[in-house]
Amino acid sequence: MKKNSGLFALIGLLALLATLGAFLFPLAPGLKDTINNEGYMGYNFVFSNDAQGMVDPNGGLIAAFSLMVIAAVFQAFGFILSFGEGGRKFAAFMHIVGGLCMVATAVLFFLAKVMVGNFLPGANIVLAWGFIVAGACAAISAILSLGAGFKVYNEK
């Protein structure tokens, strides 16, 4: 058996930190109205906000949030199990599942403008930095989780 160098746990921790970034950055303006110069927080489309005209939550962004929660749970279990010698393959599998969820989350974040559409008539909605950075954090988390997971899973 290979000696546990701690690199797998370190990469798992970095993936968890990137997932935390993907959780936090939708608190920033995710979409921006260029006509009225108003930003719309990303989580307003998940939990709705009557004050900004978002009465109905958006299903695609609810799915992105749900996939992030699932990915964080799998990555946390993978991180915990990566310290031992016996559960490395199972930890790698957990990282692979978490990484696949984060791939889907990144895609949904980058497609947020298309999913939301024109929820305010007469507004010119563009993707703002909140969803861009959240999607980048989700993509980084996916790359780290999938890379480490497949590397350890294919070890003999």
60-71, pLDDT tens digit by residue? 888 999 999 999
Using the predicted structure, report yes or no on whether residue 75 has a pLDDT greater than 50. yes
Instruction: Give the torsion through C-alpha atoms of 26, 27, 33, 34, to 10 deg.
Output: -90
Using the predicted structure, report yes or no on whether residue 1 has a pLDDT greater than 50. no
Mean pLDDT, residues 131-136: 92
Q: Of 17, 11, 21, whose CA–CA distance to 149 is shortest?
A: 11
> What integer pLDDT is reported at residue 3 of this predicted model?
61
**Spatial distance between the Cα atoms of 74 and 71, rounded to a whole number of angstroms:** 5
Better-predicted residue by pLDDT, 26 or 14: 14
**Spatial distance between the Cα atoms of 141 and 85, rounded to a whole number of angstroms:** 23
Count CA atoms within 13 Å of residue 146 on its CB side.
12
pLDDT band at 116 (very low <50, low <70, confident <90, very high): confident
Average pLDDT, the chain: 86
47 residue type, one letter: F
Relative to beta strand 29-33, strand 38-41 is antiparallel
Better-predicted residue by pLDDT, 67 or 124: 67
Cross-strand bridge partners of residue 33: 38, 125
**pTM to 2 decimals?**
0.87
Token pair of 9 as six digits: 């746990």
pLDDT for 21-41, tens place per residue? 999 988 888 888 888 888 888
Cross-strand bridge partners of residue 38: 33
pLDDT band at 103 (very low <50, low <70, confident <90, very high): very high
Query: Residue 40, SS3?
Result: strand
Better-predicted residue by pLDDT, 125 or 96: 96
Q: What is the percent of the chain where pLDDT is above 70?
A: 93
